[in-house]
């Protein structure tokens, strides 16, 4: 029998997943990144660190999350059984807390008492504000002034929890300008501050660190599912924005006999600018410190993306996903705005669960797959978050 080579041994010491990833960052960030690489390789072996993370995950965030058999959704599809991994039940309403808690704990072990983050839609900023309060750390969130106007409820939540929301009134006044300001702050204040990146993106070691903290999702599936149903699911699906909930869902399963699917934001069409499907519709290039897939024009400039869901509206994607795509381990497919909106309403009606618009992309893809499969096939979908935040944008349409 042919031995299966592991896909788990990545990244290498330079941060590469095959040819993807790396550390294409300005020279001035190098000392901060080196310190983090070194600190994390120590903390990874530290039992006390893992125990504390486990305790916070179970008592603060609400882990483990259940795996729910979606009976009526399954009946509607008329094929494979559909199960939902309920990350929407976590504190804050999404998987983002898994990463925020882990990185705040790194900051604590490094003796840093200040967290820096940037946020676009405000979901990651909110998760960072939560853990800032939890650990009693000074928290600074950079946010474009345009995004502040669009996401006022999240801005209020962040401030209530004690975070300092710094408006960025430069360039496009959105996420990418906020990233620049956050980086500048980190370089200036690296002795006291940790830069808490919100997805499996950026220069090494961030894609690895965020994947590891989100892997609690896939580890629980790997443990809970065979306990209840005798074996692993046949198919697992997750949505891909930056790619953190998907990476955390897939990574523990990459060496197993499970088909893996990523749902990307297909937006309103396949031409550049109409979607945010970096893997299925983009091309390779360097963005935010890593070589990966992205949405760019012929000159290699990032093109503004589109998605009905703010959390998927990002022109890049984590480098490990680029690696999985190239080795054929994970299939990535676009799901349109319209399909996601339809699924958002369908799941609400049939299950009494309002999914985040991001997660609705994954469920939509799962429904398509389920229709083609037999009734004894089992599909697990990661329900990355709840959709209360999306009511205005869906019902206003
Ligand atoms: C932020 C967010 C996403 C997208 O981020 P990933 O890093 O791709 O997981 C997906 N779902 C929800 C609910 C989110 O808040």
Residue 1: per-residue pLDDT:
46
Rg (CA), the chain: 20
Among 99, 241, 248, 314, the mutation site with the greatest number of ligand 1 atoms within 8 A of its Cβ is 241
What is the Cβ-side half-sphere exposure of residue 114, based on CA atoms within 13 angstroms?
13
Torsion angle in degrees (nearest 10) through CA of 72, 76, 82, 88: -60
283-287 β-sheet, strand order: 16-17, 20-21, 290-294, 283-287
What DSSP element (H or E) covers 168? strand 164-168
Torsion angle in degrees (nearest 10) through CA of 71, 262, 126, 36: 130
Q: pLDDT digits over 222-250, tens only?
A: 999 999 999 999 999 999 999 999 999 99
Cα of 237 vs centre of ligand 1, distance in Å, is: 14
Model confidence, pTM: 0.97
Q: How confident is the model at residue 397 (pLDDT cuts 50, 70, 90)?
A: low
Atom nearest to 124 CA in ligand 1: 1
Distance CA 37, CA 16 (A): 13
Q: pLDDT digits over 19-60, tens only?
A: 999 999 999 999 999 999 999 999 999 999 999 999 999 999
> Could you tell me if 267 and 117 are in contact, meaning their C-beta atoms sit under 8 angstroms apart?
no
Closest CA to 197 of 242, 234, 232, 261: 242
By alpha-carbon position, which residue is closest to atom 13 of ligand 1? 385
Indicate if the pLDDT at residue 150 is higher than 90: no
Indicate if the pLDDT at residue 2 is higher than 60: no
Sign of the Cα torsion 376, 382, 386, 387 reads negative
Q: Rounded mean pLDDT of the chain?
A: 96
Q: How confident is the model at residue 171 (pLDDT cuts 50, 70, 90)?
A: confident
Quick one: average pLDDT of 173-198? 93
Partnered with residue 246 across adjacent β-strands are none
- Pick from 96-110, 166-180, 193-207: least confident: 166-180
Torsion angle in degrees (nearest 10) through CA of 283, 259, 202, 186: 160
Cα of 1 vs centre of ligand 1, distance in Å, is: 39
What DSSP element (H or E) covers 49? helix 47-56
List Cβ neighbours of 165 (8 Å cut-off, separation of 6 or more).
125, 141, 143, 148, 155, 158, 159
Cα of 75 vs centre of ligand 1, distance in Å, is: 27
Residue 4: per-residue pLDDT:
57
> Could you tell me if 316 and 201 are in contact, meaning their C-beta atoms sit under 8 angstroms apart?
yes
Atom nearest to 210 CA in ligand 1: 7
Please give the DSSP secondary-structure letter assigned to residue 267: E
Which residues are designated catalytic? 96, 118, 384
């Amino acid at each position: 029998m042919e031995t299966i080579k592991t896909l788990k041994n990545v990244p290498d010491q330079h941060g590469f997943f095959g040819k993807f990833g790396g550390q294409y960052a300005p020279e001035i960030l190098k000392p901060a990144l080196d310190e983090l690489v070194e600190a994390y390789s120590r903390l990874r072996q530290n039992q006390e660190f893992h125990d504390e993370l486990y305790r916070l995950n179970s008592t603060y965030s609400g882990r483990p999350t259940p795996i729910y058999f979606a009976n009526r959704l399954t009946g509607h599809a008329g094929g494979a059984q559909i199960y939902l991994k309920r990350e929407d039940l976590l504190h804050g309403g999404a998987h983002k807390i898994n990463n925020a808690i882990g990185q705040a704990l790194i900051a604590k072990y490094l003796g840093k008492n200040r967290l820096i983050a940037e946020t676009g839609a405000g979901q990651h900023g909110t998760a960072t504000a939560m853990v800032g309060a939890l650990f009693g750390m000074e928290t600074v969130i950079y946010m474009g002034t345009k995004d502040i106007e669009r996401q006022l409820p999240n801005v209020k939540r962040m401030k209530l929890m004690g975070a300092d929301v710094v408006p960025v009134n430069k360039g496009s006044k959105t996420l990418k300008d906020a990233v620049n300001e956050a980086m500048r702050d980190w370089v200036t204040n690296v002795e006291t501050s940790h830069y808490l990146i919100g997805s499996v993106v950026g220069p090494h070691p961030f894609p690895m660190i965020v994947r590891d903290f989100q892997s609690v999702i896939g580890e629980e599936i790997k443990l809970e599912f065979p306990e209840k149903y005798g074996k692993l699911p046949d198919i697992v699906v997750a949505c891909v924005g930056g790619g953190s909930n998907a990476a955390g869902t897939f990574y523990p399963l990459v060496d197993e006999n499970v088909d893996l699917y990523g749902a990307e934001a297909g937006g309103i069409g396949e031409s550049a600018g109409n979607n945010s499907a970096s893997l299925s519709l983009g091309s390779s290039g360097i963005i935010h410190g890593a070589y990966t897939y992205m949405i760019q024009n012929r000159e290699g400039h990032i093109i503004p993306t589109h998605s009905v869901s703010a959390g998927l509206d990002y022109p890049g994607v984590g480098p490990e996903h680029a690696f999985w795509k190239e080795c054929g381990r994970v299939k990535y497919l676009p799901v349109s705005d319209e399909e996601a909106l339809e699924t958002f309403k369908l799941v609400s009606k049939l299950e009494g669960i309002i999914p985040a618009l991001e997660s609705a992309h994954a469920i939509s893809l799962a429904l398509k797959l389920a229709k083609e499969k037999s009734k004894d096939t089992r599909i697990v979908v990661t329900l990355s978050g709840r959709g209360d935040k999306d009511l205005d944008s869906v019902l206003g349409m």
